[in-house]
Amino acid sequence: MNANVLEKLKILAESAKYDVSCASSGTVRANKPGMLGNTVGGWGICHSFAEDGRCISLLKIMLTNYCIYDCAYCINRRSNDLPRATLSVSELVDLTIEFYRRNYIEGLFLSSGVVRNPDYTMERLVRVAKDLREVHRFNGYIHLKSIPGASRELVTEAGRYADRLSVNVEIPKEENLKLLAPEKDHKSVFAPMLYIQQGVLESSEERKKFRYAPRFAPAGQSTQMIVGATAETDKDILFLSSALYQRPTMKRVYYSGYVSVNTYDTRLPALKQPPLVRENRLYQADWLMRFYQFKVDEIVDDAYPDLDLEIDPKLSWALRHPEKFPIDINRADYEMILRVPGIGVKSAKLIIASRRYSKLGFYQLKKIGVVMKKAQYFITCSELPMKTVNEMTPHTVRSLLLPKPKKKIDENQLTFTFSD
């Protein structure tokens, strides 16, 4: 690898790190004779991890960090004075193949700043994926960021070569997007989303008729929203997420706590650190909508527009609805068991399966994997001595379950108390 490409790699990998929507699960493609790479396993291609736990098996890079837009929240905005670089299509293709052969990576996550116009940039992204697939016979995972405003023809072509496509919403409300990125609008974002959805559905119909018809973006699409850069409530964010999940091809909505990279811009909040707790609560609420059969208006509404930062959304809902509890763990249906704090999807299924043979008590539930510290206040079963949320009060249960503040003094440290 020559020094020029290596320098570009350093610059463009650094510029790409703020995009979090790069999970690779959702597609399976086995290795074939004469081809290079695979996405076998159903778990995606994330096999190696950094010391902090992040997956590093995707080459996450930008084609260029030059950009015609001047979005206030973006490190690569036009007005920023920072090192710029552009990889040619052949350089990026060779880099990906070389890294794969060295066993550094098993796939590519490719995004780009917008150069000239959306179609020009999108065409270059598509050429990278096309060359990898058709010239080098690369069979590994490819995730392409579709450029907002790109034409239907280019998005459709991208779907033929990429496993997953994504278009970032960035800011949930259009008026706030216009405030921070006057050159953008939601129409340019949602149009490519619709093209991807139509491509996936058309491909699905074709494969019903023709077994070997080519697949279109088999891992679907994803998007990302920035949390904390503007004044949206959690209700605004989650209602948009819920609407996006109604689309049959939307696999994931990612939430990225705003990182204060452009501190000089007065339109942005002055945050000392990203709102990581809020970001975590949004992911938990997202999980409730996707796997726990919660509707969005049960999690947030006009009375509670923001998620509780002290406790998780499921516990928060249970404390707001004590009339629903306690439930008899040996009689309640699956949907209600899922709503008990401390019981996950796997535990709920095991409870349903196990209680066919005998009544479940405290120790059986604990063995199944139920977090009894939380669940004990919301269920009844044999051998459960604790009072429930109705015998106590929601406020009392909340105070018992709040995380204890960490002691600043080491308990092993010898201390002396002197009386006055």
Those residues whose C-beta lies under 8 Å from the C-beta of residue 280, and which sit 6 or more positions away, are none
Please report where in the chains the tokens 């002055």 appear, as a residue.
Answer: 270
Could you tell me if 280 and 229 lie in one domain?
yes
| Sign (positive or negative) of CA dihedral 261, 265, 270, 274 | negative
Could you tell me if 158 and 240 lie in one domain?
yes
Q: Is residue 308 part of a domain?
A: no
pLDDT greater than 90 at residue 260 = no
pLDDT band at 197 (very low <50, low <70, confident <90, very high): very high
Q: Is residue 386 part of a domain?
A: yes
| Mean pLDDT, all residues of the chain | 86
d(CA 361, CA 383) in angstroms, rounded, equals: 6
SS3 378: coil
Could you tell me if 241 and 344 lie in one domain?
no
pTM of the model: 0.85
Residue 40 CB: number of other CB atoms within 10 A? 13
Q: Is residue 407 part of a domain?
A: no
pLDDT greater than 90 at residue 415 = no
Could you tell me if 92 and 202 lie in one domain?
yes
pLDDT greater than 50 at residue 208 = yes
pLDDT greater than 70 at residue 55 = no
Could you tell me if 105 and 246 lie in one domain?
yes
> Is the backbone peptide bond immediately before 305 cis, with ω within 30 degrees of 0?
no
Could you tell me if 28 and 100 lie in one domain?
yes
Could you tell me if 118 and 76 lie in one domain?
yes
Residue 239 identity (one-letter amino acid) = F
Burial of 111 (0-12, 13-18, 19+ CB in 10 A): buried
Please report where in the chains the tokens 């995380």 appear, as a residue.
Answer: 403
Q: Is residue 367 part of a domain?
A: yes
Could you tell me if 184 and 264 lie in one domain?
yes
Residue 130 and residue 123 in contact, taking contact as beta carbons nearer than 8 Å: no
d(CA 195, CA 198) in angstroms, rounded, equals: 5
Residue 28 and residue 49 in contact, taking contact as beta carbons nearer than 8 Å: no
d(CA 12, CA 6) in angstroms, rounded, equals: 10
Could you tell me if 350 and 258 lie in one domain?
no
Residue 256's nearest CA partner among 293, 290, 230, 295 is 230
Q: Is residue 416 part of a domain?
A: no
SS3 117: coil
Tell me the HSE value of 357 on the side-chain side, using a 13 A CA sphere: 5
Determine the structural domain holding residue 120 and report its residue range. 3-295
Q: Total domain count for the chain? A: 2
Question: What percent of the chain stands above pLDDT 90?
Answer: 57
State the alpha helices, DSSP H only, in 329-413: 334-338, 345-354, 362-368, 372-375, 394-401
Could you tell me if 372 and 275 lie in one domain?
no
Per-residue pLDDT tens for 318-350? 999 999 999 999 999 999 999 999 999 999 999
Name the domain boundary from 260, 295, 330.
295
Average pLDDT (292-298) is 95
Q: Is residue 415 part of a domain?
A: no
Radius of gyration of the chain from its Cα atoms, rounded to whole angstroms: 25
Could you tell me if 392 and 262 lie in one domain?
no
DSSP string, 223-288: EEEEESSS---HHHHHHHHHHHHTSTTEEEEEEEEPP---TT-TTS---SS--HHHHHHHHHHHHH
Q: Is residue 80 part of a domain?
A: yes
Could you tell me if 169 and 96 lie in one domain?
yes
Name the domain boundary from 263, 295, 327.
295
Task: Look up residue 322 and give its DSSP letter.
Answer: G
pLDDT greater than 60 at residue 181 = yes
Q: Is residue 18 part of a domain?
A: yes
Per-residue pLDDT tens for 127-176? 999 999 999 999 888 999 999 999 999 999 999 999 999 999 999 999 99
CATH of the domain at 145: 3.20.20.70
Strand partners, 382: 361
